[in-house]
Amino acid sequence: DQQVKQNSPSLSVQEGRISILNCDYTNSMFDYFLWYKKYPAEGPTFLISISSIKDKNEDGRFTVFLNKSAKHLSLHIVPSQPGDSAVYFCAASEDGGTSYGKLTFGQGTILTVHP
Amino acid sequence: NAGVMQNPRHLVRRRGQEARLRCSPMKGHSHVYWYRQLPEEGLKFMVYLQKENIIDESGMPKERFSAEFPKEGPSILRIQQVVRGDSAAYFCASSPRLYGYTFGSGTRLTVV
């Protein structure tokens, strides 16, 4: 039962353009969402997060949008840079008071940014 | 302040042997999480520990797998009698509180 889904295994973008990575979830108890970036042979590194009480959170070139009614979130990277090439994971958590910060991850999307 | 240290980085075991994966959390971090990433999949939660206590092991296979986080020393994930299906990348994360994870670089276990 895949509760967090990233339906695009890969995405290719030209440098300077926008990258949009998508994520869908099925568990309506999820109320905190995160995006992680992962390079080969390294652990995931935290990028940006959003609480379910918001619909947008922005940090520099990265913006996360949350559509609770559609159970959908997206990560926008503008402008994209070759160094952004990595695997991006969407993750979700239920109420922090009961889930102890346990995360459910999507399968990941490989982003390639071409110079 | 060193990051989350996992060792070994690569571990090869024959079927039936034991695998021991170590995780030293960041200084001051009392929450440790273990995740497993099978090939072509996302990370799957295994277990959450605080010092000397297992808080949530709902993601751990019922047999052969165990985890500990002693008062002194690193957290250990132990897999007994390994099988080929245990081949995966095992990631540890630590946190001073809920969320705010820092992941280690992982241990890649190969069972031959």
Tell me the per-residue pLDDT of A29-59, one tens digit each, with 9 for 90 and over.
998 999 999 999 899 999 999 989 999 999 9
For residues B83 and B108, give the distance between their C-alpha atoms in angstroms, rounded to a whole number: 14
Cα distance between residue B16 and residue B93, in whole Å = 27
| Residues of chain A found within 8 Å of residue B60, distances taken between Cβ atoms | none
B43 — contact with chain A (CB < 8 Å)? yes
Residue ranges covered by each domain of chain A: 4-114
Q: Say yes or no: domain A4-114 is CATH 1.20.1250.20.
A: no
Is B47 exposed, middle or buried, given 0-12, 13-18 or 19+ CB atoms closer than 10 A?
Answer: buried
- Scored b (16 or more CB within 10 A) or e, A50-73 reads bebeeeeeeeeebbbbbeeeebeb
Give yes or no for A3 touching B (CB within 8 A): no
Cis peptide bond upstream of B61, omega within 30: no
A96 phi and psi angles, rounded to 5 deg: -60, -25
Better-predicted residue by pLDDT, B29 or A74: A74
Interface check B42 vs A, CB under 8 A: yes
Determine the pLDDT at residue A98: 47
Interchain pair B42, A107: CB under 8 A: yes
Tell me the nearest-neighbour CA distance from B58 into chain A, angstroms: 10
Q: What is the pLDDT of residues B83-109, one digit of tens each?
A: 999 999 999 999 876 556 889 999 999
A52 and chain B in contact, CB less than 8 A: no
- Strand, coil or helix: what is A82? helix
Q: Which residues pair with B75 in a beta bridge?
A: B23
Q: Rg of the Cα trace of chain B?
A: 13
Read off the pLDDT band of A95 (50, 70, 90): low
Tell me the mean pLDDT in the region A73-88. 97
